[in-house]
Structure 1
Amino acid sequence: MTTINALDPGASPLDYYGYELRRLRETAHLTQRQLGDILNYTGSLVGQIETARKIPTPEFSVRADAALGSDGLLTRLVQLVLRSQLPAWFQQVAELEARAIEICTFQANMIHGLLQTSGYARATLGALDRTDLDDRTTVRLARQRIFEKEEPPVFWLVISEAALYQEIGGGDAMRGQLTHLLSFEEDPWINVQVLPFSAGAHAGLTGSFNLYRFASDPTIVYTEGYGSGHPTANPDTVKDCSLRYDHLRAAALSLKDSAELIRRAMEDRYGEQLA
């Protein structure tokens, strides 16, 4: 079992974070419990983070930097920590998301991770495996910080109407998730279109896919299988998927009509489940 005396800061970003947190705390002459009281967390949590047994959140890092006068060190480090905790096959995708100037995605069955709420993300991640669920949810939601950049990517989501009715996490979670989608209605950077059942046969029947566009690098198409991701810059694949996406966006409802459909789904399907 890892002990604080044996922590190797070179072992991983998580170990390095724990090492630096301990160094900063001891420099400030604070015990774990004292620091926890200042941050409004338990001393036990501080100890778990210092020993690389618990993943820090961005919120914890901001508070710790303020309390310890560390000039944003932990806030910067936490991004590396969270990226490193993603499945190895998905880390390249997170890098694509962070570098892209435009992300276009078609989702046939569920809300894309970049727009998921905590309740929805937790339910999807815990469908078959509930181990370390809090940490895994934190890691997934941390990807959404790309929208907090000074110049965030343009994000365009075309989602099947079916995803509005696939009840993931229960009625409360779904209502919260659909409310979250509606919160982007006036956001020029994040656009949500619904592909209605009435569209019939469409260009996305082969499955979900993402397009990542960059300022100078070639466009990347990304598709996903069970436990594996498949990015490619093959020009023929990019051309085909770009055409498919244009057709999907044309077949989908307008932004305004999509929002209205989301409202109806939320009220008709999930409204009665809440007080």
Structure 2
Amino acid sequence: MGFPGTWMTESESMVYRVVPKCACSTIGQIMYYSDHGHFFDGDIHDAQAGLHKWAMDGSQDAISRTVKAHSSFAFTCVRNPYTRILSSFFDKICGIQRNGKRYRGNLVPSLIYNYGIEVGGDDGKGEFDQIQSFRRFLLFARDTIRWRRPMDPDIHWSSMSGHVSTFVVNGGRYDRIFWTERFNEGMQDVLDHIDTPHPVNLSEIPRFNESEGHGPKRAHPVEDYFDDLSMHLVYEIYKRDFELFKYDFENPANKMPTGEIDLDEIHAKLGD
């Protein structure tokens, strides 16, 4: 299986397991900058050079060798499951993607038909009941994850622990896992452990939120989207994420972690 979703600097200074909706655009641009002294012109997910990616055949040998030898600092970044699934809904379901089309072709029309959601019209800018539509989307997300119906789960709402685990199961070991909510602190710790061809001053790095502007603005506080049933569904889907990455399931309004991530626990539980 190898190391899907893994990026590495060409200088082999650091290895990153991408977790969608968890600052991956910013992290990728920092990696690119640290090697080249400038940012990639465009969405870093589109870069076909300047960064090793598992999805590119020419990068797989270098990534495999480095990860298995643990010769580079390996890390990933996670996010509160409540805000992550909300972000997925507004970006991927309600939003128009950068190619000017809806995400995954007929996905949104089928959700409108089968789950009764609304997305703000053809351009995603119309008024609609965000809370009701999100809760219906949550049913769909649960169906894809629990029963793989009516489709396999999408990478943007499949569990973070699922993404993180492939790296461990196939022989990798993380040196650091940090939270999006404490991004500067976590990313700085990564940079403090490595030497890069070009120095990175985090205070001067912009946030590359490539999904921003795709969809409608969230009209309510996070907690308003989650009633008792929604919280139950979220826990059913993301129980392991809450436990391993130390997030507060009981209070959707609290996006901050409640404890420290235990790397030994993660390697033990995800390495099965």
TM range (shorter): under 0.3
TM-score, structure 1 as length reference:
0.23
TM-score, structure 2 as length reference:
0.23
Return the structure number with greater helix share. 1
